[in-house]
Amino acid sequence: MEFTFDNNIPIYIQLLEYMKIYLISGVFKCGEKLPSVREFANTFKVNPNTMQKALAELESMNLIYTERTNGKFVTKDEKIIEKLKDEYAITLAKSYFQGMKRIGLSKADSIKYLEGIDG
Amino acid sequence: MDNMELLEVKNLNKSFDNKEILKDINFSISGGKIVGLLGKNGAGKTTLIKLINDLLTPTSGEILVNGNKIGVESKRVISYLPEKTYLNKQMKVSEVINYFKDFYENFDSDKAQKLLKDLDLDINQHLSKMSKGMQEKVQLVLVMSRNADLYILDEPLGGVDPATRDYILDTILSNFNENASVLISTHLISDIERILDEVIFIDKGKIVLQSDADKLRNKEKSSIDEIFRRMFKNVN
């Protein structure tokens, strides 16, 4: 997969977003060992220091943790991941309704549209 | 020795025939960073790089590498990619590799061979038979195959196509180790900015800004390229 980065936004913030999606969607599961900073940097084709910064941020959000000699792991607490997923879903839903409102559709109408689409 | 900077430039001035090319340059680079030296043509990038590599002598000021003045020791730990090639084009790639092996004790010829193979370059080919882009790749591989503390790359993306540019950036990224630093000069900012930790803007022989790249993006809400363009738009 090719990753694209918008030069207008700090790269570590974009990495953080990619990583959050990985965690929410279960690419890396609860308690699973993560690749090294170096491996991640190679995959995303970014500077290892920038990758490190993104992982440190994930760690401060308790989404991942470091075992001193073994490397980094996804949190064992499924609730944290669920909460993140919930937040993402709400943001996506809000932006959908906002878009529909802009073209003059009520919430009820917007939901009808949703039901008419195959997911 | 712990908190010593890898490269320190203090009050550096350089004049040619009374014309000031570099004016009171001050900056430092610590280990493990990729730093972009960004400036327009004629801003003084190459002059600064040549001073760090002992190819020019400062008019005044000081350059320290690992705390030592420029000299034999600094040349041992700096791997330098000049703007223009100095290799004998009649040589085969394999001959150039042997040449580097003889010349630099920290040259890793296995690494060079592996990188050349990854880039689909034929070790038995003469440099003169290669395209400009291929020659630039060979030269970059040679420079990155030294186990150096500081890699200085002067316009490494000059004459190559965008696909090769990406290749070159990936080569730089995957071969730089945690303790070494890379200083890259370029005016092609948008191509390179994603790999930079820090940026140094140089204009008319002066350093006008040094910052962490992501912090600068965050502060200005735009790309390094755009910040650079904005800053130097009406200056001429």
Kindly report, residue by residue over B68-103, the tens digit of the pLDDT. Answer: 999 999 999 999 999 888 889 999 999 999 999 999
Taking the CA of residue A25 and the nearest CA in chain B, the distance in Å comes to 26
| pLDDT surpassing 50 at residue B1 | no
| pLDDT surpassing 60 at residue A3 | yes
Give the rounded percent of residues in chain B with a pLDDT score beyond 70. Answer: 97
| pLDDT surpassing 90 at residue B15 | yes
Q: Do the beta carbons of residue A65 and residue A73 sit within 8 Å? A: yes
pLDDT, tens digit, 9 for 90 and up, residues A55-111 = 999 999 999 999 988 899 999 999 999 999 999 999 999 999 999 999 999 999 999
- pLDDT band at B236, cuts 50/70/90? very low
Q: Do the beta carbons of residue B39 and residue B50 sit within 8 Å? A: no
* Contacts with B162 (C-beta within 8 Å, 6 or more apart), sequence order: B191
Mean pLDDT of chain A: 93
**Residue A49 is nearest to which of B170, B197, B224, comparing CB atoms?**
B197
Q: Within a domain: residue B227?
A: yes
Q: Do the beta carbons of residue A31 and residue A80 sit within 8 Å? A: no
Domain boundaries, chain A: 11-76, 79-116
Per-residue pLDDT, B234: 58
- pLDDT band at A119, cuts 50/70/90? low
Residue A21 CA to residue B221 CA, distance in Å, equals: 24
Q: Do the beta carbons of residue B203 and residue B45 sit within 8 Å? A: no
Q: Within a domain: residue B2?
A: no
End-to-end CA distance of chain B: 43
In chain B, the number of structural domains is: 1
Give the nearest chain B residue to A10 (CA atoms). Answer: B214
Please state the rounded mean pLDDT for residues B163-190. 86
Q: CB B196 to CB A7 under 8 A?
A: no
- pLDDT band at B230, cuts 50/70/90? very high
CATH topology of domain A11-76: Arc Repressor Mutant, subunit A (1.10.10)
Per-residue pLDDT, A1: 65
Q: Do the beta carbons of residue B210 and residue B175 sit within 8 Å? A: no
Taking the CA of residue B218 and the nearest CA in chain A, the distance in Å comes to 6
Q: Which of A25-29, B158-162, B181-185 has the lowest mean pLDDT?
A: B158-162
Residue B79 CA to residue B30 CA, distance in Å, equals: 16
pLDDT, tens digit, 9 for 90 and up, residues B130-168 = 988 888 889 999 999 999 999 999 998 877 778 878 888
Give the nearest chain A residue to B31 (CA atoms). Answer: A49
Q: Which residues pair with B78 in a beta bridge?
A: B150
- What are B's interface residues with A at a Cβ cutoff of 8 A? 32-34, 169-170, 173-174, 178, 190, 193-197, 213-215, 217-218, 221-226
What residues of chain A lie within 8 A of the CB of B218, using their CB? Answer: 10
Per-residue pLDDT, B214: 94
Interface predicted TM-score (ipTM): 0.78
Q: Within a domain: residue B188?
A: yes
- pLDDT band at B197, cuts 50/70/90? very high
Q: Within a domain: residue B16?
A: yes
CATH number at residue B213: 3.40.50.300
Q: Within a domain: residue B1?
A: no
Domain of B21, in residue numbers: 7-232
Per-residue pLDDT, B170: 86
| pLDDT surpassing 50 at residue B12 | yes
Q: CB A47 to CB B170 under 8 A?
A: no
Per-residue pLDDT, B107: 96
Taking the CA of residue A97 and the nearest CA in chain B, the distance in Å comes to 27
